[in-house]
Structure 1
Amino acid sequence: MNPAEWLHRTALAHPGAPALFHGTEQVCDYAGFDRAARAIGAALAARGLGKGDNIAVFLPNGPDYLPLLYGIWTAGATAVPVNAKLHPKEVAWIVENAAARLIFASSAPALRDAGVASEVVELAGPDHAAMLATPPLPRPVALSADHPVWMFYTSGTTGRPKGAILSCANLMAMSLSYLADVDEVSPDDAALYAAPLSHGAGLYNFVHVLRAARHVLPRSGGFDPAEIFELARAHGNLSMFAAPTMVKRLVAAARQSGATGEGIKTIVYGGGPMYVADIQEALAQFGPKFVQIYGQGETPMTITALSRADIADSAHPDWLARLGSVGRAHSVAEVAVLGTDGTPMPVGEVGEIAVRGAAVMQGYLNNPEATAKTLRDGWLWTGDLGHLDPAGYLTLHDRAKDLVVSGGSNIYPREVEEALLAHPAVREVSVIGQPDPEWGEVVVAFVVLDAPVDESALDEACTSTIARFKKPKRYVFVEELPKNNYGKVLKTELRALLAEH
């Protein structure tokens, strides 16, 4: 079923319900949201765009973003959301790879200079205004369950990004699983989009449209802790998706300003490692407002979830272990930890995490080799290493490519990072392996400090919780860790930096 059908149904049932907000200002109700989408859909159809066509959206977060997406789907076309922080040449590559016939963007000249040949419709320009003035389609074009609707381009931390093909059925499964495994949603709720709508944060729009909830676009267009606290107080019942680095910044800002998270209902975190010490600090500051999810663009936001109850249950004997996990399988997912030969690993032993179920992508666009490597024997092989405990809680170790093999022993960077973060002077840390002629690889830790500290003290922090052979052989102190636009540490850049020295 076309996801735009959810918007249309909600608009028919709740036409006057407040829908889109820019900061605290209401932009439109659900009737207006739906009409804008159907008008854009009609304008696209008049251009001959519909089923089988890909349409890119290269825009920062704003109140026009969701109507454009739903307009694309109303016409029956496939949306290709592109991170607004990418360089125009990177955008040009994605547009060409997706064969996008049209792209919505803030400005055309930079894209033209980068070689984009597709038609560009500038936001708030005359073409966009004409689209909104087009007599709307009566309802969205009907789509089959396997019809592609969202081309999710991976963040591309290594090599070129790949376009994961997500169908109507994939997104419906993800959305309904949110209600089953992550959080309930009501018309009184508000979804805040402080992370890019082109990725994880945007994927949670569907369930909030289904339940006639409010959609809040910050005036800053992004993540600003002070603004988030203000919007939470103004709107109430605010839910948001945040990377762990964003949660950490929220906590730091709250401590400085005295904010308690008033008005925040739920913070769903994921997209990178959340260290146990960090989530404990977040709980102490804001209380039980947190849910963790583990997913990938290839199975959007839907592999496992660590519930609000699990995160808050400090009396449970396994609480700390569960805080360090990513929870249990989503209702629509089957999760396994497999050996290199595809056989399940025993409970507690590390292998590659695999998932199968209704949310798993159809494959990568124009990349049969990558598709065949990732989708094998009915499983999506995630490239992540982890283990399951007897109760089904999944603990991530690292990406398979980040595993450090030193002297024939496997060392998982995350356990070294957890040990170092226990030291009060350490703000952030990322561990990689450095080639070594004697050991194969040795452990190197890139460390961001809040206060001066001797390396011997860091060594002691490690050896107090992990085996001595796992402690770093070298520390590199940096002002900040390189991250992509979603807050993930770029270990490829750390390796390049290490190679330079």
Structure 2
Amino acid sequence: MNLAIMLKRTASTYPDRVAVFRGTTPYCSFRELADRCARMGVQLRTRLNIQPGDCIAIVSRNIPAFVEALFSCWYAGAVAVPINPKLHSKEIAFILSDCSARCCFISDDHREAFARLKDAGAYSGSVIVFGSEEYRSLYEGVVAKPAERRPEDVAWIFYTSGTTGRPKGAQLTHRNLRTMSLGYSADYERLQPGDSILHIGPMCHGSGLYILPHLAAGAGQITLASSNFDPAEVFDLIKAHPRIGFFAAPTIVRRLTEFAAINKPDTSNLRIIVYGGAPMYVEDLKRALSIFGPKFAQVYGQGETPMAISVLSREAHEESLRDGDFRRLATVGVPQSVVEVRIADDAGQEVPSGTSGEVLVRGDTVMKGYLHNETATKSALRDGWLWTGDVGVMDPSGHILLKDRSKDVIISGGSNIYPREVEEVLLEHAAVAEVSVIGVPDPEWGEVVVAFVVPRIGERPLEGELDRLCLDRIARYKRPKRYVFLDALPKSHLGKILKRELRHFALETDGDRGDA
């Protein structure tokens, strides 16, 4: 079943309800949204010759038109490829090339970047700017039914990365995303018309995935009028919209908690805060609970099984607050209803309760595979199970405690940063002989990037030079916040860099640090 049927059904049931708001201003009703997306789907097929299975990228900040672009892709039978707008243009170009995007919707702040990509020959597809005359012309023409799609056809390519740092496209099918939506209703809350979701986090990632369960229930989508995170604006919208909820990384929850503790905003309309994407410190969660009350739920998922591995329910948070026993809040909860989870040894055999092992997931949310990457697909998908790369322990009640990220991924502000990618950029500097990048705990961001650099003999690269190199190659948020210069990196007898020793060293010398 094509996911566009979801919008068609909701538009028939709740035609006049507001589907999307920009701040407090209605953008369109469900009837209008379905009508526009149906017409856009036809125009994409006829004007741009988009064929079923073709990829259409979306590079945009959070704006109402994102929802239109997403569903118009599906009406056309195409595959949506939302891309993080904060990525460097070279990173965006790689993704566009990897998925062979035929067309790309962009917000107006990306006009110049895409003009440069086109001039450099890095992208040859069509570019449609949201709000432009060309974009508005897509509303014209006839209305047609959504293109026929099978449940196993790809609907969304979610670009993640592995140990190499090169983005990998997790192919998510119509079945994957429909099952994810059903799982939300089963494990988090029963949505209803009049509910709404505020898109604080990037719509190209977790927040955007939650468009689906909310739209299916007739709930509204809200984007920030400023399109940028501002705690004051968030609380203004919470006050203005009844039964509002949102998904956010722990960093954002922490900032909202700090703002609310000082300014005492009205949060009576707040329905739920779903947090995930990075570790949430128990002390931070306890403080947030004291400010907002038991309105929290935690999601643990990956791009390869979107928003669907485990859940720490709102009821679990309420019980912890009531009983004063916060140990359970250190876990990521229990397996979601739509998946099967096991903790396994290296052979894939389930280990006893309380024993560490890799988290494995099986179910209808698990991706079809990585685009154009059979080797990575075979490594991640074995005998029907997704090997997550995360090490965890499951207790007798089924609660999962994550112990480590086995792939050394750094999670900063809810975004994944891959050490190898940063290391390769730093090694481009002529004065750098060796480098190793790690993440260290940070109370604001969860983790921050620290680079250990071994200079070439007789040379010493300046931190400013390394910064400029990073800013020219990768997204700003991936830049090291601290550089440590060493004569040599600690290594095993096999020559492998001992990152655990670097982590110990970074923590021991943290008080003497000077951030870059």
TM class by smaller structure: 0.7 to 0.9
Aligned to 1:290: 296
Please give the residue correspondences for 1:31-430 in structure 2 after superposition, counting only pairs within 5 Å.
Answer: 31-46=31-46, 47-106=48-107, 107=111, 108-113=114-119, 115-137=122-144, 139-154=145-160, 159-314=165-320, 319-402=325-408
| Letter of the 2:134 counterpart | D
Aligned residues of 1:150 and 1:165 also touching (Cα < 8 A): yes
The question of whether the paired residues in 2 share the 8 Å contact of 1:235 and 1:263 is answered with yes
Which one-letter code corresponds to 2:213 in the other structure? V
| CA deviation vs aligned residue, 1:185-216 (integer Å, no higher than 9, x gap) | 11110111111111110000111111111110
Per-residue CA deviation, residues 249-308 of structure 1 (Å, 9 max, x unaligned), is 110111121225332111100000011111101000110110000000100000000000
Distance 1:32 1:157, change over 3 A: farther
Which whole-Å CA distance do the structure 2 matches of 1:428 and 1:85 have between them?
19
Q: Cα offset for 1:398?
A: 1.3
Following the alignment from structure 2 to structure 1, what is the Cα–Cα distance between the partners of residues 264 and 273? 18
Q: CA deviation at 1:477?
A: 5.5
Aligned CA distance change for structure 1 residues 227 and 394 (closer, same or farther; 3 Å): same
Amino acid at match of 2:280: M
Query: Judging changes above 3 Å, is the alpha-carbon distance between structure 1 residues 212 and 430 closer, same or farther for their aligned structure 2 residues?
Result: same
Partner of 1:295, secondary structure, is strand
Superposed displacement of residue 158, structure 1: 5.5
How has the CA–CA distance of structure 1 residues 159 and 16 changed in structure 2, closer, same or farther, with 3 Å as cutoff?
same
**Aligned equivalents of 2:205, 2:273: Cα separation in 1:** 16
**Equivalents in 2 of 1:140, 1:428: separation in Å?**
42
Alignment match, 2:412: none
Structure 1 residue 111: deviation in Å?
3.2
Rounded Cα–Cα distance in structure 1 between residues aligned with 2:491 and 2:62: 48
- Cα separation, 1, equivalents of 2:331 and 2:205: 23
- What is the alpha-carbon distance in structure 2 between the residues aligned to residue 177 and residue 132 of structure 1? 33
Name the SS of the counterpart of 1:241 in structure 2. Answer: strand
Deviations 1:112-145 (A, max 9, x none): 24521111112222221211122222x2112111
Aligned partners of 2:2 and 2:74 also within 8 Å: yes
Q: Distance in 2 between matches of 1:444 and 1:155?
A: 22
- Give the TM-score, by structure 1 length: 0.82
**CA gap 1:427/1:477 in 2 versus in 1, 3 angstroms:** farther
The 8 Å contact of residues 289 and 321 in structure 2, kept in 1 or not, is answered as: no
Runs of 5+ consecutive residues of structure 2 not aligned to the other structure = 410-437, 453-488
Contact conserved, 1:196 with 1:222, CA < 8 A, in 2? no
Alignment-derived partner of residue 420 in structure 2:
none
* Cα shift at 1:356: 0.6
Helix, strand or coil at the partner of 2:503: strand
Which is worse superposed, 377-386 or 312-321?
312-321
Letter in 2 for 1:233: K
Amino acid at match of 1:124: G
Helix, strand or coil at the partner of 1:207:
helix
In the alignment, is the contact (CA less than 8 A) between 1:432 and 1:445 conserved in 2? no
Give the whole-Å Cα distance in 1 for the aligned partners of 2:115 and 2:375: 35
SS, match of residue 15 in structure 2? coil
2:300 is paired with a residue whose SS is strand
Q: Which moved more, 1:240-249 or 1:157-166?
A: 157-166
| TM score, norm. by length of structure 2 | 0.80
State the secondary structure of the residue aligned to 2:9. helix
Q: How far is the alpha carbon of 1:155 from its aligned partner? A: 5.8
**8 Å contact kept, 1:22–1:218:** yes
The answer on whether the counterparts of 1:326 and 1:394 sit within 8 Å (CA) in structure 2 is yes
Partner residue, 1:444: 503
Spell out, residue by residue over 1:381-401, the C-alpha distance to the aligned partner (whole angstroms, 9 max, x if none): 101111000000001111013
SS at 1:442 equivalent: helix
Give, in whole Å, the separation in 2 of the partners of 1:244 and 1:153. Answer: 21
Q: Distance in 2 between matches of 1:82 and 1:192?
A: 20
Contact 1:260-1:286 at 8 Å conserved across structures:
no
Rounded to whole Å, the distance in 2 between the matches of 1:11 and 1:78 is 22
| C-alpha contact 1:156 1:162 (8 A) present in aligned 2 | yes
Residues in 2 aligned to 1:478 and 1:374: alpha-carbon distance in whole angstroms? 38
How far apart are 1:5 and its partner, in Å? 0.4
Q: How many angstroms apart in 2 are the aligned matches of 1:103 and 1:429?
A: 32
- C-alpha contact (below 8 Å) 1:236/1:263 kept by paired residues: yes
Q: Is the 8 A contact 1:334 1:355 kept in 2?
A: yes
- Letter aligned with residue 66 of structure 1: V
The amino acid of 1:329's aligned partner reads P
CA distance change for structure 1 residues 368 and 125 in 2, over 3 Å: closer, same or farther?
same
Question: Which secondary structure state, in structure 2, belongs to the residue aligned with residue 444 of structure 1?
Answer: helix
| RMSD of aligned Cα (Å) | 2.6
Paired letter, 1:67: E
Contact 1:16/1:29, CA 8 A, preserved across alignment: yes
Give, in whole Å, the separation in 2 of the partners of 1:341 and 1:476. 42
Question: Are the aligned partners of 1:443 and 1:473 in contact in 2 as well (CA < 8 Å)?
Answer: no
Q: Secondary structure at the match of 1:132?
A: coil
Number of aligned residue pairs: 440
Instruction: Give the letter aligned to residue 26 of structure 1.
Output: P
What does residue 423 of structure 2 align with? none
CA displacement at 1:157 relative to structure 2: 8.4
Given the superposition, is the C-alpha separation of residues 477 and 359 from structure 1 closer, same or farther in structure 2, using an over 3 Å criterion?
farther
d(CA) in 1 for partners of 2:163 and 2:211?
A: 25
Q: Contact 2:14 / 2:218 at 8 angstroms: preserved in 1?
A: yes
Change (3 A) 1:18 1:429: closer
Q: Alignment identity in percent?
A: 40
